Chains A and B, each alone.
Chain A
């Protein structure tokens, strides 16, 4: 078969079977995938580590594990060590007996086997399970211009936008194949043209917009296009400090899950916007103006899919994507203040804060850990999405301030302030 993608002699040889039938199929998959998007060539993956989305030994994904076995049998290991999305189970997170049975015997019955497969393929470490692999504590943080074969929409949009790396929104399996073969097709967000903005988004709010709401509004409007956001630096400043990065982590995850954004530029803040400014905007770019009323409209239009919309929440998840160390500290302060105000001793809704295992280990070394524990909040490395994605959990009234979790599950979205009020409310009376 003739391809338009220009291949080097080495790449052609792999495609023709010089390294075996399995690797030929891996190359064919990547080349055909690239052809669909007008890829011009296959370029080397240049990041130190990869990141994979498939972290769960879900019985339903049997064919994926069989495909991975084929790769292992052919000696097609990942050329890079990799991190991977969070584990789906953690005994610290509350479950009922039915959930225990469904999780362990039906849904994630292949977890142990799959983690062994991941180790064989090149998993970075036992702690490498997180969607925020770019946290300093985890160490999978690519530099500007590096070419990645990552998946996980929230990590891809962060790597492109905040770190200035180059990565398309790859699917699971394609992510691994790029690393196995060492090349990815050059198209879309790997090209200068593909990183130009199709939209100008003007922020005209009177207060700092909630990251998760703003990301949702933009994602739903621009879908897979690239937005250039003007006016957000007024609220975030012009330096990518911890606070700005945390905001952009949550904002980006919402753009990627409520739409399909793989890259955004923030005027005066993100690296390419700082370097090239408005030259990044395409001539025919459309404009979307966001004020407080628009954010309110977006929020009010979220469907409530609980059977009983007035049900008392049974669980609260914070940390989708996983929280940063500073976020855990800030929320410790906020929960303590909320409890002091309401007069409640502990949180009145079972509440789980999720973060990367390495971030949790760092948090445990701070005095905040004991303080957070005293409020009743549980910390966990779990993936809230994987917890929620089943018929039992979807019947539970779960609340969250994650717009990603809202989009993919029955969890109900509230703003950070509303979540705080709900979990620290004194349900036994008192102040």
Chain B
């Protein structure tokens, strides 16, 4: 098991299975189809992202460098959270980008029920280490523990 320390963007504790994108997450391309056509698993629809395409994002600990793409990104993330199709948490190796930050903050301020802890600045080593299927535990204060699957 390895522990990484990041910065808290949205506080919270959660435990989930890792899903890793080594490239930037194009939020609109990834979530649009899932939101549009009632896919509760939020299967990633971004054909340009070989790490995530076709994989379930809802309920996973989504590990990524940053988000990219359309400035609708924040509101797409807000909608995914509002509809209960958000990842269990989002863990950024880089400092968070403005679009993901908007989505994370909007969801935390305006939504009562569905919460998604977000931690950023976990460092490149975090993204090098974590692999799909690993166990992730997010603790208060931005501590992220990564271990092999049980």
A interface residue numbers (CB < 8 A to B): 25, 28-29, 32-33, 36-37, 53-54, 58-64, 67, 106-107, 151-153, 156, 168-175, 188, 223-224, 257, 259-260, 303, 305, 385, 389-391, 394, 407-408, 410
Pick the residue among B9, B24, B75 that contacts A171 (CB under 8 A). B75
Pick the residue among A36, A64, A223 that contacts B101 (CB under 8 A). A36
| CA of A188 to CA of B99, assembled, Å | 13
A-B contact pairs, 13 of them (CB 8 A): A33-B105, A58-B36, A61-B35, A61-B79, A63-B83, A151-B71, A169-B98, A170-B71, A170-B98, A188-B98, A223-B68, A394-B47, A407-B26
B71 touches A53 (CB 8 A): yes
Q: Which chain A residue shows the least CB distance to B109? A: A29
| CA of A106 to CA of B29, assembled, Å | 18
B98 touches A168 (CB 8 A): yes
When distances are taken between beta carbons in the complex, the residues of chain A under 8 Å from B18 are: none
A171 touches B48 (CB 8 A): no
B69 touches A172 (CB 8 A): no
Q: Which chain A residue shows the least CB distance to B77? A: A171
| CA of A152 to CA of B82, assembled, Å | 23
Instruction: Please count the residue pairs between chain A and chain B whose beta carbons lie under 8 angstroms apart in the complex.
Output: 123
When distances are taken between beta carbons in the complex, the residues of chain B under 8 Å from A259 are: 68
Interface residue B126 (Cβ < 8 Å from any Cβ of A):
no
B74 touches A173 (CB 8 A): yes
Beyond A54-B72, A305-B47, whether A60 also contacts B29 by CB under 8 A is no
Q: Which chain B residue shows the least CB distance to A66? A: B82
Expressed in whole angstroms, the minimum distance between the Cβ of B84 and any Cβ of chain A is: 11
Interface residue B96 (Cβ < 8 Å from any Cβ of A):
yes
Interface residue B139 (Cβ < 8 Å from any Cβ of A):
no
| CA of A390 to CA of B32, assembled, Å | 8
A152 touches B71 (CB 8 A): yes
When distances are taken between beta carbons in the complex, the residues of chain A under 8 Å from B33 are: 390-391
